[in-house]
Amino acid sequence: MSLSDVPGLRPPRHPVHPRARTWWTAQALVTVSGPMLLTALALALLSVLFFAGALPWLVPLLVVTLVAPALAYALLMPRRRYAGHAWELGAHAVYAADGWIWRRRRITPLSQVQTVDTVRGPIQRRYGLATLTVTTASTAGEVRIAGLADADAEELARLIGRATHTARTPDAHATPTPDAHAAATPAPDAHARVDRPGTEGAA
């Protein structure tokens, strides 16, 4: 079989919570876009007060170097990040995708999971969101699923913990790496984020 005959890896089934777009927008305004816009405004005011003759060339320069990139980042980053973030919990592995410029997908066998934590920053708490961090024995590092609703993050952490325990029991089947069509039960509706006990899960 040639490489062209191998099916592509499908995306994880479940997107993160829609409020994640608002969270990422607020994060952009606080960390990147806001400071850039404030810098542009300060430079323009200083020019008006002390160097009025520089305004004809300074204003276009500020628009190109600060204002336009700041607005583009605040508008585009949250949308692309939301489109690129997804998760799925299967019977044998956690499957996660993230990134907004460089897209990354990771399949982590449950047998390699060491700890599962939920992290909530100050802006995340404002929107009722959390980030699930799965620490593994792999040198690739931890797996992060950002933008989950609080309740979904807690439930997913519980399900991963239970599935990890099952995968490590002596009578458990050997843990294979999921293929491109790994089965997982989809969420029951458009807003569901976590499969309930008794399903295969979704990461």
Q: Is the pTM of this model over 0.85?
A: no
Per-residue pLDDT at 2: 41
CA distances (Å), origin 94, targets 70, 109, 157, 200 = 35, 6, 11, 11
- Dump pLDDT digits (tens) for 26-45: 999 999 999 999 999 999 99
- Dump pLDDT digits (tens) for 63-104: 999 999 999 999 999 999 999 999 999 988 999 999 988 989
Per-residue pLDDT at 7: 54
Q: Quick check: 120 and 155 in contact, CB under 8 A?
A: no
Q: Is the pLDDT of residue 182 over 70?
A: no
